[in-house]
Amino acid sequence: MAGSLMAALGDAITPKKPRGATDPRQIKTEILSGLTVALALVPEAVAFAFVAGVPPLVGLYAAFIVGLITAVLGGRPGMISGATGALAVVMVSLVAQHGIEYLFATVVLMGLIQIFVGVMRWGKFIRLVPHPVMLGFVNGLAIVIFLAQLTQFQVPGTAEVTGHGMSGGEWLSGPRLYLMLALVALTMAIIWGLPKLTTIIPAPLAGIGVVAVVVIGLGLDTPLVGDLASIEGGLPPFHIPAVPLTLETLQIILPYAVILAAIGLIESLLTLNLVGEITGQRGGASKECVAQGAANTVTGFFGGMGGCAMIGQSMINVNSGGRMRLSGISAALFLLCFILFAAPVIELVPLAALVGVMFMVVIGTFAWNSLKILTKVPFVDAFVIVLVTAVTVAYDLATAVVVGVIVSALAYAWQNASRIRARTHVTPEGAKVYAVDGPLFFGSAEGFSELFDPETDPKLVIVDFANSRVADQSALTAIEAVAAKYEAAGKKLELRHLSRDCHYLLKKAGQLMTDSEDDPDYALAVDYGVRTGQLGAGH
């Protein structure tokens, strides 16, 4: 791929090194970034609670608890977590069939699964996600975020919120629509232009503040946060899910918990990588798994719907200068303050301002550079970018990533399967040498077998693996099959520069191998064959 993900995002964000917790200016930036994120979290949490079929406070509590714990314990400072649509669309059927208490129990189990994944350090496998999949991920997510904002252009109370944020409903029209569009444009203009003048206050927060003052001061008729639902409430109460502790309950919640845990971790780890590209940070995958798991486990006991990393809010945070844990902690605490004390004020914030902020997030998230490189990269890479983008929009992010990884892996296997070949020559002693080039694995095993001609080859044949890599059990089986053909023809086959594991599995009564001082010593994933003795005799 040409360029890094940073370039693909259009250099939308200029990374800044954290100045440290003792720098008052950075502390101010972190707190203001947190306030901006908290304002943007409110309509998202309410909308996703509607998606899951639960009261708005269940989504707000999840945004507060998950956001706070992951900000403290997570693997990437600056990331924001909370209730998300990808999880909500899975939860809706569980709530509809079994009720909200089963949802809380599922969220607890989901968290425990995520903790187990983190303890086992399986988060590192996110590095297997290819770059084209990441580009498709951010493109698809940008489109999903854009679609989710369109429901705000519908008359409050008439839209049925779905996973992408819109379904049915009566659209705004006439002066109300024009006013909404004008306020969105004003917010975007402030976010774009203010950094050119000053960075004292985060541009998204300034945009929200200016538009709110204009709407309230002039008494403009435009949808407000309070039109979605009331966000007023108390502290989240501790609550053990009221479900029977039986095997039947486990059978109900386990499938949902596994799916939710997988979706949550995939989204969180991909967001972790994306934020890492922007902020210049590395590592922390397993730590993030544990943090997400701890957050969801606690959330289930405090009446929350669970959550995971939110790329839109994370982008708002890093765009606003948030680079430390303080910004995420501030966002969570501000959100709690909104619920406890400031609900009447926050409910007056115009939705147009928040839509404008999210539209700027869409512009900054979409990998515009990927459109230019589609015709320059290999066809498979271009196909994967488009495929992942489309599946993300049509289904969900986790499915899209899995599909993209599978397609990329199959394409890689196919390309390597065609690379197996052999150069031959005859030694002065009359032995024929096959110098194998290319990896030997399940995809190239058949091609490897076709390289040899036991019927016409001389009495002694030497296969040299110095330029080959024996990768799996299928490769070992292919080697044994070739050896059996030469043995059946009454000829001797010697294998050189083969790993010690292959020596153990394939040596035929001391006749097959020729030891060499420079034999490689890499390990093979063939423990099963070693234990069962299916692939040949030992020394």
pLDDT confidence band for 5 (50 / 70 / 90)? very low
Distance of alpha carbon 260 from alpha carbon 262, whole angstroms: 5
Kindly state the average pLDDT of the residues 272-301. Answer: 91
Q: Which residue has the tokens 């599922």?
A: 106
Q: Which one, of 310, 230, 265, lies nearest residue 60 by Cα?
A: 230
pLDDT of residue 280: 81
Phi, psi for residue 163 in degrees, rounded to 5 = -60, -35
Total of domains in the chain: 2
Token pair recorded at residue 327: 């910004």
Token pair recorded at residue 9: 């995002």
pLDDT of residue 477: 86
Asked if the structure places residue 110 within a domain, the reply is: yes
Asked if the structure places residue 203 within a domain, the reply is: no
pLDDT confidence band for 466 (50 / 70 / 90)? confident
The 10 Å CB-count burial string (b at 16+, else e) for 65-83 is bbbbbbbebbbbbbbbbbb
Mark whether 340 and 443 lie in a shared domain. no
What is the residue range of 135's domain?
Answer: 24-155+237-346+368-391
Residue-wise pLDDT for 154-168, tens only, equals 887 665 544 444 455
Are the C-beta atoms of 42 and 346 separated by less than 8 Å?
A: yes
Asked if the structure places residue 36 within a domain, the reply is: yes
Helix, strand or coil for residue 380? helix
Residue-wise pLDDT for 402-430, tens only, equals 899 999 989 888 888 878 899 999 999 88
pLDDT at 200 over 90: no
pLDDT of residue 191: 94
Asked if the structure places residue 178 within a domain, the reply is: no
Q: Which one, of 39, 67, 84, lies nearest residue 205 by Cα?
A: 39
Specify the length of the chain in residues. 539
Asked if the structure places residue 18 within a domain, the reply is: no
pLDDT of residue 504: 62
pLDDT of residue 397: 78
Mark whether 467 and 385 lie in a shared domain. no
Asked if the structure places residue 296 within a domain, the reply is: yes
Asked if the structure places residue 412 within a domain, the reply is: no
pLDDT of residue 22: 52
pLDDT at 314 over 70: yes
Distance of alpha carbon 214 from alpha carbon 344, whole angstroms: 18
pLDDT at 69 over 50: yes
Mark whether 380 and 438 lie in a shared domain. no
Token pair recorded at residue 412: 């890689």
- CATH code, 438: 3.30.750.24
Mark whether 503 and 442 lie in a shared domain. yes
Mark whether 326 and 449 lie in a shared domain. no
pLDDT of residue 61: 96
Kindly state the average pLDDT of the residues 279-288. Answer: 86
pLDDT of residue 519: 57
- What dihedral angle (degrees, nearest 10) is formed by the CA atoms of 34, 40, 43, 45? -50
Q: Which one, of 128, 141, 139, 130, lies nearest residue 369 by Cα?
A: 139
Q: How far is CA 357 from CA 130, 145, 178, 199, 207, in A?
A: 30, 11, 18, 17, 8
pLDDT of residue 510: 44
Least confident stretch, 135-139, 315-319, 370-374, 524-528: 524-528
Asked if the structure places residue 357 within a domain, the reply is: no
CA angle, 71 then 300 then 297, to 5° = 55
pLDDT confidence band for 114 (50 / 70 / 90)? very high
Residue-wise pLDDT for 493-534, tens only, equals 888 887 666 666 555 434 455 555 555 554 444 443 333 344
Mark whether 258 and 112 lie in a shared domain. yes
Mark whether 372 and 461 lie in a shared domain. no
pLDDT of residue 539: 35
Kindly state the average pLDDT of the residues 371-386. Answer: 91
pLDDT of residue 503: 65
Mark whether 373 and 452 lie in a shared domain. no
Residues 502, 442, 405, 396: is their CA dihedral positive or negative? negative
Residue-wise pLDDT for 227-279, tens only, equals 888 999 999 999 999 999 999 999 999 999 999 999 899 989 989 988 888 88
pLDDT of residue 51: 83
Distance of alpha carbon 271 from alpha carbon 78, whole angstroms: 11
pLDDT of residue 537: 36
Helix (H) or strand (E) holding 470: strand 460-470
pLDDT of residue 530: 39
pLDDT of residue 23: 78
Mark whether 339 and 464 lie in a shared domain. no
Paired strand residues for 81: 309
Mark whether 475 and 377 lie in a shared domain. no
Mark whether 140 and 283 lie in a shared domain. yes
Crossing angle of helices 100-119 and 285-301, rounded to 10°: 160
DSSP assignments along 306-348, one per residue: --EE-HHHHHHHHHTT--SHHHHHHHHHHHHHIIIIIHHHHTT
Kindly state the average pLDDT of the residues 179-205. Answer: 93
Q: Which residue has the tokens 């203001």?
A: 32
Q: For a pLDDT cut of 90, what percent of the chain falls above it? A: 49
pLDDT of residue 520: 56
Mark whether 375 and 451 lie in a shared domain. no
